[in-house]
Amino acid sequence: MTTVSGVPASAATAASAGSAPAASVPVGASPTGVPRLPGATVSRPRLLRALDEASGSPVVVLRGPAGCGKTVLLADWARRHRRDDERVLWLGLDAALDGVPAADRRRAFWAAVGLALRASGRSSSALARLLGDDLAPAPSRSALVAAAAAPDQPLVLVLDDLDLLDDPAARADLEAVVGSGGRVRAVVATRSRSWLERGDVAAALDTVVVGPDALALTPAEAAVVVTGVLRRPVDASRVVALHAAVGGHAGAVVASARAVADRVEADRTLLVDRGGRSFEEALAACALDHVRASLARHLRGGPATEFALRTSVVDSLPTALAARLADLPDADAAAALDRAAEDGLGAWRTESTGAHGEFAYYAAVREALRSELDARRPDDARTLRQEAVEWALEAEQPMIAARAAAALLDMPLLSRVLQRSWPSFTLRHAAELVGVLGTLPSRRTARHPVVLAMTALAFSTVSMHHARVAQALGAVVSAVGERVGSVPAPDQAFLLAVEAQARRMLGDVARARAAAARAEVVLAALSPAEREEMAPVASFVHQQLGVTALLDGSPEEALRSFAAASGAASGPEHAAQRASSLAASAFVHLWIGEVATGRALLAQVGDETAGPVGLARAVLALEDFRPHEALQLVPDVEPLMASSEHWPIVLAVRASAMISLGQTAVAGHLVDLDAQAARWSVRSPTAGASGDLLATTRVRLMLAVGRVSRAEAELEHLPADDPTVVLRRGAAHLLRADARRAADTVSGALLAGVPDQRVRSQLLLLRAVAELRLDRAAAALATFTAVLDALAHTGLRTVLLTVPRDDLEQLVAAATASGDPRAEDMLGPGRSLAGDLPADAIGSSLSEREAVVLRSLATERSLPSVAAELHVSVNTVKTQLRSVYRKLGVSGRREAVEAATQRGLIGG
C-alpha cells in the first residue's frame, strides 16, 4: 500500500515519488503515539519542508477538508522529526474525547495528554507528574503553565481532529501552555477554521497556517497517485481535468483512480471507460461522484443541502450574497455558514464572521455541489449566477461578478462587468483574471473587444503566453472595428481607447494615434448625461489618450490628457486612479526637464513606488544624483516591461543610472541593453518616439565609452531634425575635437526652437563647452550663465553631467570667479559621478587598424597572427602598436589592456 496525503494508493509509486517508506506493518501507533504509516508512503516534500520551517512558531495549524491528507502528513512529519531537544507526542482527539460529556472534556483532554506522556516514556517529566493517574479535577492553568515551562519538558504536542476540542477552558489552557515560553508547542489538524487562527490569539501565538490550498495535491502529485493505482505511468497532463474537478482533494483523487481502474477495458493502454468516456473525463467524473456521495451522507438532504447547493455558485461568499442566493435573512445565512464551517465544508476567509464575514467552500466541496446543481437544475444554476453578478456589481465586488459571468459563458454580461469595473480590474485584479478569462473558449470571445482586451492585459501582466497576448490584441483591433459604430457614444470612446492601447502594444503607434484622435472627437461631443454614464471609465480613457500622445512624441498633449484623467477619477478606485494619473504627469514633467513641477506632483502621490510611480521616482532620484536609488526603484516597475509598451523608457532610465556609475559598467550595459531590447520587443515592438528613444539611448551609451564611429553610424538612421539626435551628433563632434562643428550643430537646433527643457539645456551646455574650446571665454560664460538660469528655474541637475568633466570644471570655475556660485552648489552632490562624455577622445582618435591591434592585445594573440589578419607586415603592426601606446599614455601591453578596459575601449 502507498499513502498519499492519507489516502491509500499502490506501493508501486513509492520510489518514483522519492519517498521514504515506513515498515510494512498495519496502521497502529508508535511508542510516542504517532500512527504507523502503511507499507509505503509517498511523501510530499514541499509540505514537510513547510512544517519544518514553521518550527519556530508555538502553533502550526493544518486546515483542510476531511480526506485531504492531514493525518498522514502529520504522521509522516512526526516520524521524520529528528530534533534532539524536542520530543513528539501524538494525541488523536477523536479517541480521547469520544463519548465524554461536555462538562468533563477539560479533565479528559489533560488526562489523555498525561497518559500519552507516560506511554512515551516521559513519566518523570514535570508535566507527566502533574497529570498523574488520578486527574479529578484537572490541574489549575497556572500549574499547567509552570510544568510546561520546566527544562525537562520540550515537546511537540500533535493534536489530530482539533475540531473536537470545544471546551473553552481546555482551549484557554492550551493557549497558555504553548504561549508560555517555547518549551511546549502544538501542531494541530482541523477541518474548520479554529480559534487558534483568529484575532488576538493568532497574533499572540504567531500561528502558522498550512491551509487547504497548500494541502491540495498538485497535478504532479495527483499523477503519482493515479500512477500508483493503475500501475502504469500517467503524465500530469492527463489529470488536469481531475485536478480541476476536485481542487486536488487527495481522497477524491485516489477514489477516482480506483473507480476508473475497475471500469477500464482489459487493455489498459487504451485507458477508455466502458461507457465510452475518455480516461481524463472518467477520472474527473468519478472524483466528483466520490465527493458528492460523501456530501450526501453528511448533509442527508433537507435545508442544509439546499443552502449548500444554492450558495456554491461563487468562489468567495460574503454573508450578504449567501443570504441573497439562499433567500434567507442575513442572520440565518450567517448561522448556516457557521454550520458549514463546523462541518468542515469550508472556512471563513476573514477575521470577521457572521453578517460581516466572507466564507469559501473547500474546492472539492464547491465543485461537487456545482456539478450537482448544473446537472439536475441547470436553469436554477444559471439564475443563481446571474443573481450573483447583479449583487456583486451593486456591492462593488468585481471579481465575484467576473467569475460568475464567465461561468455563464455570457460574453455581453461579462463585457458589462469588465467595463463597469475596468479600473479595479486593471489596477488591482489583472493577475487574478488569468484563471477566469484564460479558460474561455476563443469562439465565444472572438467578437467581444472588452473581454479580449482584458484577456491580453491579464496575461501580459503575469508575463505569460506572449503569443496569446499578441493574438488577443490583434483580435481587439478587429472586434472594435466591427462594433464601435453600433454602440452608444460613451462606449465608443471607451472602445477607441482600448483600440489605441492594443495598437500601441502591437507597435502600431500611428494607428493608435488615429484611434485616440477619434476618441477625442467623441469625447468632445458627449452630453452631460453621457459623461455621467461614462464616469467609471473616463479616467482610463483619458489616461490611454495621454500615453498614446506621449509615445507619439507629444508630451504637452499627454500632460493635458493626464490632467483630465486625474480630474475624472471616480468610484472605489478613485485614489488609485488619481495617483496613477499624477504619477504619469510627474513622469512627463521630469522627462522633459521640468523637475520642480514633477517633484511637486509626486509629493501628492504618497509613498508608493510600484508601477508608473516608481518610474517617476527613479527619474527624480537621478536628478538628485542618486543613481543607486534609481536602479533600486527600477525593479518596482518591472511589470511595465511585461505588460506595456513603456519598456524603452525603463531601459533609458537604467542606462542613465549606469552612465552615472562609471564608464566601465557602461561598456557592459550596452550589450545588456541590446539583449533586453531583443527580449522585450518580442512582446511589444517599438515604433515612433519609443523606437527613437531606444536608438538614441544606444548612441548615448556608445558616446559614453568613446565609440564615436559606431555612434555616428547609428545616428545616420535617425531623424536628422530631432533635437535629441542633433544633441548626440554635436557630442560626437566634440569627442572628435571638432569644437567648431559641435557649436554650429547645436546652435542650429537652438535657433529652430526646442520646447523640451532637458534637451534645450543640454544643447546650451554643449555650446558653452564648444565656445570654451574655441577660446571664446566671454561667450562661453554667457551661455553657461543661461544654462544655470534654466537649471535654477526647472530644478534640473543631471544636465551638468552631460559634458566632459574637465570642460565642466572650467565653466564652473569661471562662473564662480564671476560671482555666480550656483554652478558650484548645483554640481556639489554629483561631483563623484561619471559624465555622459569621456574626458578625452582617445577612442575616436584611434584608426580602424589601431583599434584592431588594441583589441588583439587582450586576446594574447601574437603580432605575426595580427599582421596576417590585417595583411600587413609585422613591422607595420609594431608601428601601430607604438601609436596606440602613445595615445593611451602607457608603455606596455598589460598597461594598455588595463587602460583600454577602464575607458571601455575593450569589451562590447
pLDDT tens digit sequence for 748-787: 999 988 889 999 999 999 999 999 988 899 999 999 999 9
- Candidates 603, 584, 590; CA nearest to 546 is 584
Q: Reduce the DSSP state of residue 749 to 3 states and report it.
A: helix
Which DSSP letter does residue 35 get? B
Mean pLDDT by 10 residues, the chain (908 residues): 39 30 32 66 84 89 89 88 78 88 90 87 83 81 88 85 91 91 87 86 90 90 86 85 87 86 55 62 86 82 90 94 95 92 84 82 90 93 96 93 95 94 88 88 90 86 67 88 91 94 88 96 96 94 95 93 95 89 95 96 84 88 95 69 70 92 76 77 71 90 87 92 94 87 93 92 96 92 97 96 92 95 94 83 56 76 82 84 78 79 59
- Candidates 370, 369, 371, 347; CA nearest to 360 is 347
Does residue 528 contact residue 561 with C-beta atoms inside 8 Å?
Answer: no
In CATH terms, the fold of domain 44-215 is Rossmann fold (3.40.50)
Q: In degrees, to the nearest 5, what angle opens at C-alpha 681 toward C-alphas 710 and 453?
A: 155
The pLDDT value recorded for residue 648 is: 87
- Please give the sequence-ordered ranges of beta strands (E in DSSP) within 779-835, or none if there are none: none
Give yes or no on whether 300-395 and 846-902 have one common fold: yes
The pLDDT value recorded for residue 843 is: 47
The pLDDT value recorded for residue 472 is: 83
In CATH terms, the fold of domain 300-395 is Arc Repressor Mutant, subunit A (1.10.10)
Does residue 37 contact residue 245 with C-beta atoms inside 8 Å?
Answer: no
The pLDDT value recorded for residue 225 is: 86
Q: Is the dihedral of CA 196, 202, 207, 211 positive or negative?
A: positive
In CATH terms, the fold of domain 846-902 is Arc Repressor Mutant, subunit A (1.10.10)
- Candidates 10, 107, 68; CA nearest to 211 is 68
Q: Reduce the DSSP state of residue 158 to 3 states and report it.
A: strand
**Residues contacting 624, CB < 8 A, separation 6+:** 797, 829
Which DSSP letter does residue 426 get? I
The pLDDT value recorded for residue 902 is: 65
Does residue 757 contact residue 794 with C-beta atoms inside 8 Å?
Answer: yes
**Residue 292 in grid coordinates:** 458528492
Task: Indicate the domain borders of the chain.
Answer: 44-215, 219-299, 300-395, 555-644, 708-839, 846-902
Q: Is the dihedral of CA 842, 847, 848, 850 positive or negative?
A: negative
Note the pTM of the prediction, 2 decimals. Answer: 0.72
Q: Reduce the DSSP state of residue 7 to 3 states and report it.
A: strand
In CATH terms, the fold of domain 708-839 is 1.25.40
- Candidates 415, 422, 661; CA nearest to 540 is 422
The pLDDT value recorded for residue 295 is: 84
Does residue 422 contact residue 541 with C-beta atoms inside 8 Å?
Answer: no
Consecutive H or E run containing 210:
strand 208-210
Does residue 243 contact residue 217 with C-beta atoms inside 8 Å?
Answer: yes
The pLDDT value recorded for residue 556 is: 95
The pLDDT value recorded for residue 867 is: 83
User: Amino acid identity of 406?
Assistant: A
Torsion region of 199: left, alpha or beta (phi above 0 gives left; psi -120 to 50 gives alpha): left
**Residue 519 in grid coordinates:** 476618441
